[in-house]
Structures are given as C-alpha cells and as structure tokens.
Amino acid sequence: MTFLLPQSPIGHALRVAVAASLCLVLVDWFRLEHGSQAVLTAHMVMAQYPYTVYQKGIERIIGRGGGILCALVLLTLGANAPVLAFVLKLLALLVFFYVYFSGRLAYTFLSAGLYLSAIVEVGYANPAAAIPVGKELFLAIVIGVLVADGVMWLTSAEHDLHIHLEGQPLLPLRGDFLNHSLMLVVTVALSQLATRLLDLPTGPALVSVTTLTIVPDLQALLRKGHLRIAGVVLAAAWGFGAFLLLNYLPHFLLLLALLWLGMFVAAYITRVAGEHSYAGLQMGLVLPMILVVPPSQFSNLAPAVQRLEGIAAALVASVLVGGLWASFSRERPATQPTQTSPAPDATVTAQR
C-alpha cells in the first residue's frame, strides 16, 4: 500500500515532517533519552542527499556505528595511556577525512569521524557512560533511518536500493586530500584542547569544526558559519515559541504538531533556499535537540546555546588554522569532494 505525495519541495517537506513525527512517537514509546538523534537523523538523510535517502541512511548507520566502535576501542586502549589514545584518535581521523575527500562513500567516513570524536569526549568526561550512550545513540540512528526509508518507499518517492561507490582513487596518495585532512585534524585537536581548557561543551564544538572545515576555502567556511548560526537561531526561536504554547497546553499531541510544523519549515527552507539552504538544514538538526528531550530537560534552550558556543569555538579555531594554512586561505571555486550526483531539486552541500 502506498500514499502518493507530490514530487515537489512541499511534497518532500511533508515527507520529512511525517518521518520526524513518527520518530518522536517511537522514541517516546521506547523512552530513549537520546531520542532527538532519531528525529534529526530522519531530517538529515531526507532533507538533502546526493543519490538516494536509502544510501545516505545506510552510510549514516555504518559511519556512526564504525565511529562509535572505534571510539570504544580507543577508550579501552587509552584507559591508562591518554596521550596514546589522543594520538591514535587523530590518526584515525586523518584516515577518515582522507577517504571523505576522495568522495568514495564520503558520508560514511565523515559520520565515522564525527561520532569517533563525540564518543571519545563522552568517555573522557565519564568513562562508564561511553558504552550505554553509544548503544542508545546507535539505536536512535537506526530508528531514524528506518522511518525515513519507510516514508520514502510508502509514498512512492524512492525504491532504489543501489549503493553508489564512485569516487577518486585512494592510492597513490593525493597531496591535496592529505593536506586538507591534516589541516582538519589539527583544527579538531586545537578545538578539543581549547574547549576542555575553557570548560566549554566540547562535543558541539567538534561537530561544528568538522563540518565547517571540510569546505574548500576560508571564505566558504565563513559563509557556512553564518548560515549555521542562522539555523540555530531559527530553531531556538521556534523552540521558545513552542515552550510558551506547551506551558499553557502541556499535551503530547501539541508537541507532535509543533515538531511536525517546525520540521516541515526546516525541510522546505533546505529544499528551496538555494545557497542559503544550509540554514534550513541546521534548523532541522537543532530543533529536535530542543523539543525531543526527557521531561526534566524540557523548556531548556541549553542545546541551542551550546550549539552557538560550539559554532563560536569552531569558527575561532577554524579561522585561526585556516588563515595560517596557505592552501586553504586562498579562495577557490567551491567544488565539493563528496558525491556529486544530486537528487532532483536538492542542493548538495557539505553535510553534517
């Protein structure tokens, strides 16, 4: 049985909003503390994709799972040797980023690098929490991908199960890929040390620094940083309005409706805003972090504030390193090293 929705920006935004709402129902049913990851995963794999939602979802599962597993191994090896664990983490990131820049299953390896950094930081703050947090994050991601695929297939938007493996050869080593990867690793290391020293939230900073610094040059980084901030502000404004309504009418169905409408707006902006579409993508990533939280954390805009702090820290670190990195500080044509065959009506940008 299928349900037809138009192949248009509005039709696609409806699909994203429906998938996000279904994820909210499921994570509430399973009482997942990190349920926001399911909602934002559905948005992430559906809002923009170079080939198919199916491929992006599979890459997200494999990349996130691989990054979590790698982080747990490094935390185990580095229990009594933190310097060794730090060096091994940077080497693993160098490999992940190099493969990303080759464009071969790029999103898989970008995802692996992001979650490797995130789980290592969880283990650094609380070693006992790394495994349970990693398991729940992975479960939430799987739920988000399965719901996204189900909505796409049930609305006859997609039935392609082919995985595209195109990309540049990994060998012989490409100097430009290796140089950009090394710059990204240095920026991640600087951000990690700075946020720990200043007692800032390290996780959001590492996510931001990674997604900002994969762009081709410093000017593109600054443009992307501005759009990232705009997306966070849009999500925070929507979340604040939702809090006001829910304080008067604290019902799950109202929360569901507000999330549905917010995710629809975010997906629609992502689809139609052209060079500004990244703001909509960011809105759809941050809004679940504000609304899809345990009851004790509701009416709390801290995730948005942390995201802004992370972006600020990432911009400072990225501009500092990028400005000194000669090959990055020169403006070049904005070519993406990731997969380049966009879905219809989709603007493919550097992905989270």
What is the tens place of the pLDDT at every residue in 244-265? 999 899 999 999 999 999 999 9
DSSP state of 343: P
Going from N- to C-terminal start, the domains of the chain cover 9-159+170-329
Phi, psi of 76 (to 5 degrees): -70, -45
What pLDDT score does 343 carry? Answer: 39
Confidence of residue 13 (pLDDT cuts 50, 70, 90): very high
Least confident of 66-70, 86-90, 302-306: 302-306
- The stretch 279-300 carries a mean pLDDT of 87
Would you call 276 helix, strand, or coil by DSSP? helix
Exposure of 347 in the CB half-sphere (CA atoms within 13 A)? 17
What pLDDT score does 339 carry? Answer: 41
What pLDDT score does 337 carry? Answer: 45
8 A C-beta contact, residue 46 and residue 53: yes
DSSP state of 140: H
Phi, psi of 31 (to 5 degrees): 55, 50
% residues pLDDT > 90 (the chain): 61
310: Cβ–Cβ under 8 A, 6 or more apart, which residues? 200, 201, 203, 204, 205, 206, 207, 208
List helix spans (H) across the chain: 9-30, 36-47, 53-77, 82-102, 106-125, 130-154, 175-198, 202-213, 218-248, 252-272, 277-291, 302-324, 326-329
Q: What average pLDDT is seen over the chain?
A: 87
User: C-alpha 159: how far from its chain's center?
Assistant: 24
- The stretch 133-150 carries a mean pLDDT of 96
Q: Which residue has the higher pLDDT, 315 or 234?
A: 234
What pLDDT score does 341 carry? Answer: 36
Least confident of 194-198, 209-213, 275-279, 320-324: 194-198
Scan for tokens 């040390």, then name that residue.
193
Confidence of residue 338 (pLDDT cuts 50, 70, 90): very low
Residue 167 has pLDDT above 80, yes or no: yes
Provide the residue type at 150 as one letter: G
pTM here is 0.88
